[in-house]
Structure 1
Amino acid sequence: MNEIIKTKNLRKVYKMGDEKIIALNDVNLEIYKKEIVCIIGTSGSGKSTLLNMMAGLEKPTKGEIIVNNMHLEKMNEKQLTKFRQKNVGFVFQSYNLIPTLTALENVSLVLTFRGVPKRVREKKATEMLKNVGLGKRLHHKPSEMSGGQQQRVSIARAFVGNPKIVFADEPTGNLDTKTTFEIMDLVTSMVKDLNQTLVIVTHDDEISSYANRIFHMRDGKIEKVEELPLKGDVVN
């Protein structure tokens, strides 16, 4: 297996007045291509900060973040924006959909930023929405959809640009148990079909059961790494 994400002595310190809060404390990890990884821990353990670092959303205080052979810690904001557009997709707990846009517009917006022609991006967005079971909801706005349907739009948006890595931050935190498993089955089957890497942040043990490996975090450090029997196909 080839690594697609690697961190070396990754450290993040936030300053609040005279106080320093250590969110990440010399974190070293490797995540491999086509792997499904879960980062689990209680609130304040550093798991979301670690995801933000690997996704190029935050800069480290010190250390290295190497994603797809690129050093994120050396990039400026413009370079990081370009990196995210080309390499990653995001699924968030709160969906992060634009309320004034339809499902089709929310999904195709990702391709707009890449300069994809309108006809092409609408075709791709339509296909992706059909793939997540929303072929009849193309022109509905978020307020006209259930939480599960909004998360499916979020998933379609994450995958429409065919990213190498999908980052999911508490992707089922606002969903009931039945919808949670439907969403997780959908996301994991899509990353396997497309040979992508999935990194999930959660505090839910049931969600972590979908992973190949689990990184357990506490107080800004990786406490242990757990390998699981896989659900579905084995990653080679």
Structure 2
Amino acid sequence: MSLISVQGVRKVYRVDRERIVALGGVSLAIEEGEICCILGTSGSGKSTLLNIMAGLEKPSRGKIVIAGSDVTGFSEKQWALFRQKNIGFVFQSYNLLPTLTALENVAMPLVFRGTGKGKRMQEATKMLKAVGLGTRMSHKPTQMSGGQQQRVGIARAFVSHPKIIFADEPTGNLDSKTSREVMGIMVGLARRYHETLIVVTHDREIARFGDRLIEIHDGLVRYDSRLAPQPAGGAANEEERKAQA
């Protein structure tokens, strides 16, 4: 059984009297441990597809099954509990809490899981070292570069070891060199922990980091293919060695 099954999903928005079809009937299956990049231009429907798979939007028609659960009709409360246990997010704009340190930001998902403070700090420390920020744990977001903030965001997404990581344009605010480093870190962690990573991007170079490339055009899947594995995690491992030196 696939980890995620998207079955005939349509999404139609109504703007005044106009009907805008964001997704025109998408069906696909994503396997456990797969690194999947969804590529498309602005307005193609790629972010809408991610939001529906993550329960942030409801489909107009169709069905979503995740880890054997039909989540299509979940209430907001059911989705909140499901995401807490199964899903992590990496955002384009980082979404870090400005008053908290890197360590406190990374530990936050574990608070909602009821993890004790000592264990939270231990796990957050381990994950920050894994993304090469072992010497930046006490820094607040305003004291870090965009690339460093995104590494904190990645550590936060992975710290509770969810089944699925959704990343919506995670390199959209970064330069090309930092973008490659950030993707290498995410892919490396996903492989290390055998977690499913789904990345939405408009950048074809970023999309090449996946095991699988899905292209969305005008709300439909136009291309779906396996890719040759790319080296990943090197930047993270190098930074981790420096931090621990």
> Structure 2-normalised TM-score?
0.92
Give 1:176's aligned residue.
175
Q: Which runs of 5+ in 2 are unaligned?
A: 233-245
Give 1:124's aligned residue.
123
**1:219-230, aligned counterparts within 5 Å?**
219-230=218-229
Q: Secondary structure at the match of 1:73?
A: coil
> 1:102 & 1:214 partners in 2: Cα distance?
35
Deviations 1:102-121 (A, max 9, x none): 11111111111111111111
- Give how far 1:227 is off: 2.1
- Give how far 1:71 is off: 1.2
Q: Secondary structure at the match of 1:74?
A: coil
Give 1:70's aligned residue.
69
Give 1:45's aligned residue.
44
Deviations 1:169-215 (A, max 9, x none): 11111111111111111110110010111111001111111111111
**1:189-228, aligned counterparts within 5 Å?**
189-228=188-227
> 1:232 & 1:140 partners in 2: Cα distance?
30
Q: Which runs of 5+ in 1 are unaligned?
A: none
Q: Residue 88 of structure 2 aligns to which amino acid in structure 1?
A: G
Give 1:138's aligned residue.
137
> 2:15 & 2:148 partners in 1: Cα distance?
38
- What is the alpha-carbon root mean square deviation over aligned residues? 1.2
Following superposition, which runs of at least 4 residues in structure 1 exceed 6 angstroms of deviation?
A: none
Give 1:93's aligned residue.
92
- Give how far 1:232 is off: 4.5
Q: Secondary structure at the match of 2:198?
A: strand
Q: Secondary structure at the match of 1:174?
A: coil
> 2:230 & 2:151 partners in 1: Cα distance?
21
> 2:131 & 2:140 partners in 1: Cα distance?
16
Q: Secondary structure at the match of 1:21?
A: strand
- The reply on whether 1:82 has 2:81 as its aligned counterpart is yes
Across the two proteins, how many residue pairs are aligned to each other?
A: 232
> 2:136 & 2:65 partners in 1: Cα distance?
38
- Give how far 1:41 is off: 0.6
Out of 158-167 and 116-125, give the one that drifted further. Answer: 116-125
> 1:125 & 1:40 partners in 2: Cα distance?
31
Deviations 1:10-33 (A, max 9, x none): 011111122111111111001111
> 1:23 & 1:113 partners in 2: Cα distance?
33
Q: Secondary structure at the match of 1:157?
A: helix
> 1:19 & 1:147 partners in 2: Cα distance?
39
- Give how far 1:74 is off: 1.7
Q: Secondary structure at the match of 2:134?
A: coil
> 1:56 & 1:118 partners in 2: Cα distance?
29
Give 1:6's aligned residue.
5
Give 2:240's aligned residue.
none
> 1:60 & 1:67 partners in 2: Cα distance?
15
> 1:106 & 1:232 partners in 2: Cα distance?
29
**1:25-36, aligned counterparts within 5 Å?**
25-36=24-35
> 1:168 & 1:111 partners in 2: Cα distance?
19
Give 1:54's aligned residue.
53
> 1:216 & 1:117 partners in 2: Cα distance?
42
Q: Secondary structure at the match of 2:199?
A: strand
- Give how far 1:168 is off: 0.8
> 1:155 & 1:126 partners in 2: Cα distance?
13
